[in-house]
Amino acid sequence: MSAVFAKHVSYTRTEYGAVVLDKKKSRYWQLNPTAVLVADALEAGGSVDDAVQRVVTAFDVDAGRARQDVTALLAQWRAAGVLRR
């Protein structure tokens, strides 16, 4: 499974982390460190597995827990309409 930000969404790194901007709805989200890792993986063309591995490596967390967190985050982004797939 993969995910890609929608065309009307921009992802930008900031000095405090990163933000996702939905240009259609004029909404933005300040991302926490875990979400930044997931967004970076998506921007690099990576898969959900790649995002999970980034979280595991950065936070020394169990892969199962990381997958739950990444899956939940992607579900939230899908519900908000910021992902194409």
Q: Which of 1, 16, 14, 9 is nearest to 83 (CA)?
A: 9
The predicted pLDDT at position 69 comes to 97
pLDDT in tens, 8-19: 999 999 988 999
Residue 29 has which token pair?
Answer: 């989200």
Domains of the chain, residue spans: 9-80
Q: Is the dihedral of CA 82, 31, 43, 64 positive or negative?
A: negative
Mean pLDDT throughout 3-30?
Answer: 94
Nearest to 34 by CA among 45, 18, 10, 49: 18
pLDDT at 82: 94
Buried b (16+ CB within 10 A) or exposed e, 26-60: eeebebeebbbbbbbbbeeebebebbbbbbbeeee
What digits encode the pLDDT tens for the residues 37-54?
A: 999 999 999 999 999 999
Region 69-79 average pLDDT: 96
Q: Is the pLDDT of residue 1 over 60?
A: no
CATH (residue range 9-80): 1.10.10
